[in-house]
């Protein structure tokens, strides 16, 4: 039996950051909607975590019928404003990334070097450029210091912090190196977003209007009729959540899913041994340890095995 306080066991109720609880967290969505676009059947009824609204808009532009849900009123209002064409602005995540870019500049990352790197299209050349020009000892020290648990604890709430690998800095560096060797920089707007802070391009006009709802994801899905959704884009809602909340979310997804529904979920954790189908390397946003794509029946059977 679920109790009301179980809803408090998702870190997103107060937000992952210590400062400005329930303020704007994300001005951009750091996940590649290409994963969802390749996975979801055409014109699916989609449940999406709203976040900055980028994934929801990309799916709606492709013809999916999207319901975008977020527990954070400020974040949902921002996503809805973006759908109306209003300009992007910075959230807490962008301010943290901006600080990281300043450290990189002090470590020798000049604007000219970054522009040259982002203009490359050959993955082999990109990996060589990275190894030769950008992956310096000072850069590695800056990243590993910025993303060390002790420093992150000044910014992040403890439930979210516990969900990150303890060696998060080296893991992020590995993921970036993997991305440069796999995706053409000149055709990857996420590369310019991370390195230069440039906004993602808008996908275009939605074919179907997005429905925006301010609610907890599990609570909302429980209230839906059975079979409401054919696809789920859950972002990294599981990072920082308690096991009890994850069980509730899994049951709610199963309840609200149509036959053959599919779930896409992400995590900053590292994949466990049983995740042969992990698609993190295909996600052009470059940051994720896990991008898990599963039929709902398998998702509802348990949380993807991750190891920190």
pLDDT of 302: 43
Give dist(CA 180, CA 191) in Å, integer.
Answer: 9
3-state secondary structure at position 151? helix
Which residue stretches of the chain have pLDDT < 50? 1-8, 18, 300-308
Burial of 148 by CB count in 10 Å (0-12 exposed, 13-18 middle, 19+ buried)?
middle
Backbone angles phi, psi at 264, to 5 degrees: -115, 120
211-214 β-sheet, strand order:
211-214, 65-70, 45-49, 229-233, 257-267, 290-295
The pLDDT, as a whole number, for residue 160 is: 72
| Predicted model pTM | 0.89
Question: How far apart, in whole angstroms, are the C-alpha atoms of residue 70 and residue 75?
Answer: 7
pLDDT 10s digits, 29-78 = 999 999 999 999 999 999 999 999 999 999 999 999 999 999 999 999 99
Per-residue pLDDT reduced to its tens digit, 84-105: 878 788 888 898 889 889 888 9
Q: Torsion angle, CA of 148/153/159/161, rounded to 10 degrees?
A: -20
Indicate the fold that domain 32-82+206-248+255-298 takes in CATH. Answer: Rossmann fold (3.40.50)
Mean of the per-residue pLDDT values of the chain: 87
Question: Sign of the C-alpha dihedral, residues 34, 246, 79, 57?
Answer: positive
Angle between helices 92-106 and 137-146 (to 10 degrees): 150
Q: In the chain, which residues fall in CATH 3.40.50.150?
A: 32-82+206-248+255-298
CB 110 within 8 A of CB 134: no
């Amino acid at each position: 039996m679920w109790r009301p306080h179980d809803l408090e066991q998702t870190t997103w109720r107060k937000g992952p950051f210590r400062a400005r609880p329930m303020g704007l967290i994300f001005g951009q969505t750091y996940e590649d909607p290409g994963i969802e676009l390749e996975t979801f059947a055409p014109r699916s009824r989609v449940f999406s975590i709203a976040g900055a609204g980028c994934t929801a808009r990309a799916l709606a532009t492709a013809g999916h019928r999207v319901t975008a849900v977020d527990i954070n009123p400020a974040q949902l209002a921002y996503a809805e404003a973006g759908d109306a064409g209003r300009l992007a602005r910075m959230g807490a995540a962008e301010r943290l990334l901006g600080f990281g870019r300043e450290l990189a500049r002090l470590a020798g990352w000049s604007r000219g070097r970054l522009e040259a790197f982002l203009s490359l299209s050959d993955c082999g050349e990109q990996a060589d450029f990275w190894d030769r020009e950008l992956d310096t000892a000072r850069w590695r020290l800056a990243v590993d210091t910025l993303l060390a648990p002790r420093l992150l604890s000044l910014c992040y709430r403890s439930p979210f912090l516990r969900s990150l690998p303890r060696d998060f800095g080296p893991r992020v560096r590995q993921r970036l190196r993997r991305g440069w060797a796999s995706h053409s920089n000149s055709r990857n707007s996420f590369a310019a977003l991370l390195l230069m802070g440039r906004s993602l391009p808008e996908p275009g006009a939605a074919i179907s209007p997005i429905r925006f709802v301010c609610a907890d994801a599990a609570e909302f899905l429980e209230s839906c009729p059975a079979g409401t959704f054919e696809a789920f884009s859950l972002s990294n809602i599981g990072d920082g959540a308690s096991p009890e909340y994850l069980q509730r979310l899994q049951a709610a997804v199963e309840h609200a899913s149509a036959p053959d529904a599919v779930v896409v979920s992400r995590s900053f954790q590292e994949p466990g041994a049983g995740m042969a189908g992990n698609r993190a390397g295909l996600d052009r946003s470059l940051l994720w340890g896990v991008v898990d794509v599963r039929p709902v029946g398998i998702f509802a059977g348990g949380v993807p095995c991750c190891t920190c």
